[in-house]
């Protein structure tokens, strides 16, 4: 349970650092019951990370200390760089079904105090590619010479949402030196010749793997995410991730004394 009482599946988190570097956390807050998610994530701070929210179905309203506000709806994504510090809230709205994910991406020490920013990608801005038996939405990175709308991110990410028909196959080469994983959203499939991965499970690939993913008889939908590791120390507590315990303590001291926000609100 997170936020003000949101029941979610934490696919990976603190215990897996640094195995999935530069990724820190992946939460799946999908549910058919509004009672599981309606309490939302009221005002809270972030520093030193980027949060990636992807809504497949449903709606999340957000607002922050810099004066930004808006809604992320089904098919939309938002890549938020907290940088030097943001205080925000994310409040899911009642829908028939919520299917949503939030990924935390670490920032390198040289960029942890960068100016906060957003990259919003609406449903119509995210390209869809028919690729060797799969339908793939490209949020970030490039597939078959089609680039996603999220650009200029330090870890050079790939973020694909792939849907395969029953028994069809998806092939892709992981970028050498990058961390690459898949999270199964629907169905099941073989992520190598031996490993059957089912809904709610993750597959972490070896460096430079040529990926051959075959859908099961009921089809398969998965998120495929990759990024360049930072190979830096991690000091992490709650919503703030820095490189040292001293930096972490400074962030919480600033939050307590009202000096956390380093940039003026948008007017």
CATH number, domain of 179, equals 2.60.120.10
The model's confidence at residue 132, banded by pLDDT at 50, 70 and 90, is confident
Nearest to 229 by CA among 52, 83, 20, 26: 20
78 and 173 belong to one structural domain: no
Looking at the structure, tell me whether residues 203 and 102 fall in a common domain: no
| Domain closes at, from 107, 125, 143 | 125
Out of 71, 106, 125, a domain closes at 125
Helix (H) or strand (E) holding 253: helix 245-257
Query: 218: domain range?
Result: 128-231
- For residues 24 and 96, membership in a common domain is answered with yes
Predicted TM-score (pTM) of the model is 0.95
Q: Which of these three, 125, 157, 191, is where a domain ends?
A: 125
For residues 73 and 164, membership in a common domain is answered with no
Residue 117 CA to residue 119 CA, distance in Å, equals 7
Residue-wise burial string across 106-129, b where 16 or more C-beta atoms lie within 10 A, e elsewhere: bbbeebbebebbebbbeeeebbeb
* 95 plus 160 within the same structural domain: no
Could you tell me if 12 and 65 lie in one domain? Answer: yes
* Residue 264 pLDDT > 70: yes
* Residue 194: pLDDT band with limits 50, 70, 90: confident
Same domain as 119, residue 135 = no
Helix (H) or strand (E) holding 184: strand 179-190
| Confidence check: pLDDT of 190 > 80 | yes
Residue 266 binned pLDDT confidence (cut-offs 50, 70, 90)? low
Per-residue CA distances from 123 to 14, 57, 137, 168, 230 (Å): 31, 11, 10, 25, 30
Q: Are residues 11 and 40 in the same domain?
A: yes
């Amino acid at each position: 349970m997170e936020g003000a009482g949101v029941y979610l599946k934490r696919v990976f988190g603190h215990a897996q650092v640094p195995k999935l570097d530069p990724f820190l956390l992946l939460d799946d807050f999908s549910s058919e019951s509004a009672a599981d998610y309606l309490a939302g994530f009221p005002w809270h701070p972030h520093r030193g990370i980027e949060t990636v929210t992807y809504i497949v179905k449903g709606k999340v309203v957000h607002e922050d200390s810099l004066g930004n506000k808006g809604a992320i709806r089904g098919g939309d994504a938002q890549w938020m760089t907290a940088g030097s510090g943001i205080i925000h809230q994310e409040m899911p709205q009642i829908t028939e079904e919520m299917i949503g994910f939030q990924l935390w991406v670490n920032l390198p020490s040289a960029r942890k105090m960068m100016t906060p920013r957003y990259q919003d990608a609406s449903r119509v801005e995210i390209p869809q590619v028919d690729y060797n038996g799969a339908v793939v939405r490209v949020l970030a990175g490039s597939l078959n010479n089609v680039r996603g709308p999220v650009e200029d991110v330090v870890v050079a990410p790939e973020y694909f949402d792939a849907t395969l028909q029953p028994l069809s196959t998806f092939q892709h080469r992981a970028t050498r030196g990058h961390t690459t994983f898949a999270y199964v959203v629907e169905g099941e499939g073989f992520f190598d010749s031996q490993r059957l991965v089912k809904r709610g499970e993750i597959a972490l690939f070896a460096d430079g793997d040529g990926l051959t993913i075959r859908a099961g008889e009921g089809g398969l939908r998965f998120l495929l995410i990759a990024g360049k590791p930072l190979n830096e120390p991690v000091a992490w507590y709650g919503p703030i991730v820095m490189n040292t315990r001293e930096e972490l303590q400074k962030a919480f001291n600033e939050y307590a004394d009202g000096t956390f926000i380093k940039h003026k609100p948008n007017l």
